[in-house]
Amino acid sequence: MILITGPTGCIGKAVVERLTSSGHSVKLLWHWGHEHLAPRRVSIVGGDVHNVQSLVDAMEDVDTVLHLASLRRDVGAERVEEVNGGGTRNIIDAARRAKVSRLITVGCLGAEARSAYPYLRSMGKAEEMVRSSGLNFTVLKSAVVYGEGDWLTAWLAGIATGMPLIMPLPHRGETRLQPIWVGDLAACIERCLNTRSTFRQVVPIGGPQSLTLAEIAQITLGAAKSNRRFVRIPTSMTHQLARFLAHCRGALTELEIDALSYNRTTEIGSVHRMFGFAPAKMRTKLSHLRMDREQAPLPVRFSR
């Protein structure tokens, strides 16, 4: 049995879909307070990563924990660290107490315990804890993820429909990223379950293209059938822009702006080398933007 934390997130939803359709038995750690949104077809247990006992209870009959619960909303650096760092510490503690030995997490390219950016710092600390946990861990250290419910294309599509004519791009649109489709990431996670070469490893992965933010915006707007003129905002004005746009539909949070602050890429063939399949090019996997464009260009988050 696999316990999945963060099952309502962008990655969590795709993984639940993937693992249940290929016959794995899963149990979902449903964040307390959102139980009314839980689906009926899978095993659900309420809990919170701040509450170790709820995690120990949730780990009964579990042999693998897939830890995806995290926070990247603008609620202050301390709170982000509490959920991402403290939550991971509690997961490790609970896994030891419940005698669960396998732990899989999704980390971030660019995350470092000494990063200047609160979200990347919290994820770097979480990664260090997992590495030194003594558990049979895998950290899939991922590039930025896109697909149903993601923040990146949701923001780009939101700006495209919410702002007249122009598309402001932070950091001049020059930051280089390597977007990976959430369905491909879910496939990598599934393969980690039984691929011994991923045991006790940090595995960097990314999509098949290294793209600047401007190129990503171009591809996304193409899929959303929107024309906007790019305005390249210099780094020195990027945070002012974020504050100015804070109340617009699809605006980026400061933490998300941070995640766009520097190049975060890895080896282009990483997924193929490690998992034996070719991940999709971004242009081919943006149907989540096209489908609901008339009514709701932003992918629906059912938990927020």
| Max Cα-Cα span within the chain | 56
- 218: contact with ligand NAP by CB under 6 A: no
Binding part of the chain for ligand NAP, among 144-152, 162-170, 197-205, 268-276 by CB under 6 A, reads: 144-152
Which ranges of the chain does DSSP label H, i.e. alpha helix? 10-21, 52-58, 77-81, 87-97, 118-131, 152-162, 182-194, 213-223, 235-244, 254-259, 270-275, 287-291
Min dist CB 239 to ligand NAP, Å, is: 20
- 71: contact with ligand NAP by CB under 6 A: yes
The three-point CA angle 219-221-225 to 5° equals 115
In terms of Cα–Cα distance, which of 174, 68, 66, 80 is closest to 121?
A: 80
Cα separation of the two ends of the chain: 27
**Closer residue to ligand NAP (CB): 144 or 294:** 144
**What per-residue string of b and e applies to 133-148 under the rule 16 or more CB within 10 Å gives b?**
bebebbbbbbbbbbbb
Min dist CB 227 to ligand NAP, Å, is: 26
Residues 117-136 that bind ligand NAP (CB under 6 A): 123
Query: What tokens appear for 18 in the block?
Result: 């993937």
Write the binding mask 39 to 58 for ligand NAP: x where contact by CB under 6 A, - elsewhere: ---------xxx--------
- 12: contact with ligand NAP by CB under 6 A: yes
Write the binding mask 87 to 116 for ligand NAP: x where contact by CB under 6 A, - elsewhere: x------------------x-x--------
Do residues 202 and 139 touch, judged by C-beta distance below 8 A?
yes
- Residues 144 and 160: their CA atoms lie apart, in Å, by 20
Min dist CB 98 to ligand NAP, Å, is: 16
Q: Amino acid identity of 272?
A: H
Binding part of the chain for ligand NAP, among 9-17, 167-175, 247-255, 290-298 by CB under 6 A, reads: 9-17
Instruction: Out of 68, 189, 257, 271, name the contact with ligand NAP by CB under 6 A.
Output: 68
Q: Parallel, antiparallel, or unpaired: how do β-strands 176-177 and 211-212 relate? A: antiparallel
**Closer residue to ligand NAP (CB): 34 or 225:** 34
Instruction: Out of 25, 34, 222, 292, name the contact with ligand NAP by CB under 6 A.
Output: 34
Q: Amino acid identity of 264?
A: R
- 216: contact with ligand NAP by CB under 6 A: no
Instruction: Out of 3, 83, 130, 221, name the contact with ligand NAP by CB under 6 A.
Output: 83
**Closer residue to ligand NAP (CB): 69 or 245:** 69
Place of tokens 């943006």: 286
Under DSSP, is residue 171 helix (H, G, I), strand (E, B) or coil?
helix
Cβ contacts of 101 within 8 Å, gap of 6 or more: 63, 95, 135, 136
Instruction: Out of 2, 3, 4, 11, name the contact with ligand NAP by CB under 6 A.
Output: 11
Which residue's Cβ has the minimum distance to ligand NAP? 9
Query: What tokens appear for 113 in the block?
Result: 């315990």
Write the binding mask 150 to 179 for ligand NAP: x where contact by CB under 6 A, - elsewhere: x-----------------------------
- Beta carbons within 10 angstroms of residue 104's beta carbon: 23
- 250: contact with ligand NAP by CB under 6 A: no
Residues engaged in binding ligand NAP (CB under 6 A): 5-12, 31, 34, 48-50, 68-72, 83, 87, 106, 108, 123, 142, 144-145, 150, 303-304
